[in-house]
Each structure stands twice: as C-alpha cells, then as structure tokens.
C-alpha cells in the first residue's frame, strides 16, 4: 500500500502537521504517517541570499525514505530557493519519492499582517497537495482553483483549493503508484517547483 510519510525538517509546526495529517488522506486517499523530525541540512544555507537550497532538502529526504513509504514530504520553516528563482514555496521530484514545502512565506506575518496559524495551515495543505501531486506525475494545471495550478505569489495560492480538479483527479487515479502497479523507470526524475 502506498503511504505518505510526513517529516518535519527542523522544528515541527504542530498545527501544520495536524492539518496535513487530516487533509492529505482526503486529497490522495492514502494513509499518512508522521515520521521523526530530521535535522536541517546546514550546508543548504546560502549566506548571501539568507535562503536555503531546496535541492539539499530533497537530497536529505531521499536518504530518509523509510521502507513502506512511497512518498515522503518534508516540512521546513526555512525560506527555500532554487538558483533560477527568487524563492519557491516547495519543490518535488516529478514521479519521484520526495517533496518539500516551505512554511516561511505562508505565514501572514511574512506579508506584514498579524500572524494567523490557521491561514498558514490551510496554505501549507494546498502547497503539500501540489508538491505531492508532482511526485505522482501530475504537472501544472490551467484550472486556477486546482491545487496543481502554479502559484508564484500568495494571492494565487489563496485562490486555489486543496481539492484536485476532475482532470487531475483522473490522472492521479491512473498514476501507477496509485494503482499499485510496478512503475516503468523514469530516466531522471525532474524537479518541479
Ligand atoms: Zn487540475
Ligand atoms: Zn508545481
């Protein structure tokens, strides 16, 4: 059976973990298992940018996929980047086992507003569904309320729901790992923001 592993990297955010434990099984129809927190990959910090390289988080998570977990999602409070983008809300291996979500920019406080943890948790769920969707082979969707649509700012993220559109729901169902069929090897799992 496919199992989604949820792993805090660094200090866990309990409210977010609880929201994902509740929301991810609804979105994917798979059980979620909470894993022990991992220490942050300290080499991922770029002192010049003050941000953390998300590829290093994916590498760390790849080394930590426990037997029985088909997918592992890391959660970090750090602000993540990939070299070509100023930031990413998260990153995933397309058809690969790991994904990461950053909570740094999901917090209202980041946008100069009073902190609201339930807003952070709602946003984190949408972003988690998006990144895990990539790990099951889903690509970006043109339906702006589908979680697989690309968000490059918080307004776009807030406009989305955590529920797959009809097309993405069908594609997800047909994903070999959802059908528990042996997967044809993917040459090199690309990474997607
Ligand atoms: Zn969609
Ligand atoms: Zn994406």
Model confidence over 22-63: pLDDT tens digits? 999 999 999 999 999 999 999 999 999 999 999 999 999 999
For residues 45 and 51, give the distance between their C-alpha atoms in angstroms, rounded to a whole number: 6
- Closest ligand by atom to 147 CA: 1
For the stretch 119-172, pLDDT in tens is: 999 999 999 999 999 999 999 999 999 999 999 999 999 999 999 999 999 999
Q: What distance in angstroms lies between residue 148's CA and the mean position of ligand 2's atoms? A: 7
**Which of the following is catalytic: 40, 56, 127, 131?**
131
Whole-number pLDDT of residue 1:
47
Q: What spacing in Å lies between the alpha carbon of 127 and ligand 1's midpoint? A: 13
* Residue 29: predicted pLDDT: 94
Q: Is residue 186 part of a domain?
A: no
User: 108-138 burial, b for 16+ CB within 10 Å, e for fewer?
Assistant: beeeeeeeeeebbbbbbbbbbbbbbbbbbbb
In a domain, 25, yes or no: yes
Residue 47 Cα to ligand 1 midpoint, Å, equals 37
Ligand nearest to the CA of 101: 2
Note down the domain range covering 172.
Answer: 4-179
Counting ligands in written order, the one closest to the CA of 161 is 1
What is the model's pLDDT at position 145?
98
pTM of the model: 0.93
* Token pair listed for 12: 């866990």
Rg (CA), the chain: 15
Residue 114 lies in a domain: yes
| Cα of 122 vs its chain's centroid, Å | 13
Give me the number of domains the chain comprises. 1
Residue 180 pLDDT exceeds 80: no
For residue 161, give the CATH number of its domain: 3.40.390.10
- Asked if the structure places residue 151 within a domain, the reply is yes
Q: 192 CA to middle of ligand 2, Å?
A: 5
In a domain, 188, yes or no: no
14 catalytic? Reply is no
The answer to whether position 187 is within a domain reads no
In this predicted model, which residue has the larger pLDDT, 70 or 21? 21
- Is 189 part of any domain? no
Most distant CA pair in the chain, distance:
48
Cα(14) to ligand 2 centroid in Å equals 25
Query: How many whole angstroms separate alpha carbon 185 and alpha carbon 62?
Result: 16
């Amino acid at each position: 059976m496919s199992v989604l592993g949820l792993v805090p990297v660094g200090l866990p955010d309990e409210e977010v973990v609880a929201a994902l434990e509740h929301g991810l099984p609804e979105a994917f129809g798979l059980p979620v298992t909470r894993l022990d927190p991992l220490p942050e990959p300290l080499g991922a910090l770029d002192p010049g940018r003050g941000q953390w390289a998300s590829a290093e988080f994916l590498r760390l998570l790849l080394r930590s996929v426990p037997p029985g977990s088909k997918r592992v999602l890391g959660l970090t409070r750090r602000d993540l980047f990939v070299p070509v983008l100023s930031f990413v809300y998260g990153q995933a291996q397309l058809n690969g086992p790991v994904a990461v979500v950053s909570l740094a920019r999901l917090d209202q406080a980041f946008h100069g507003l009073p902190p609201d943890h339930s807003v952070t948790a709602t946003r984190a769920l949408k972003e988690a569904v998006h990144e895990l969707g990539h790990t099951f082979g889903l690509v970006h969707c043109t339906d702006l309320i589908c979680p697989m649509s690309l968000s490059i700012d918080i307004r776009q993220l807030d406009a989305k729901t955590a529920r797959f559109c009809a097309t993405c729901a069908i594609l997800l169902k047909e994903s070999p790992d959802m059908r528990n069929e042996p997967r044809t090897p993917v040459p090199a799992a690309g990474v997607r923001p």
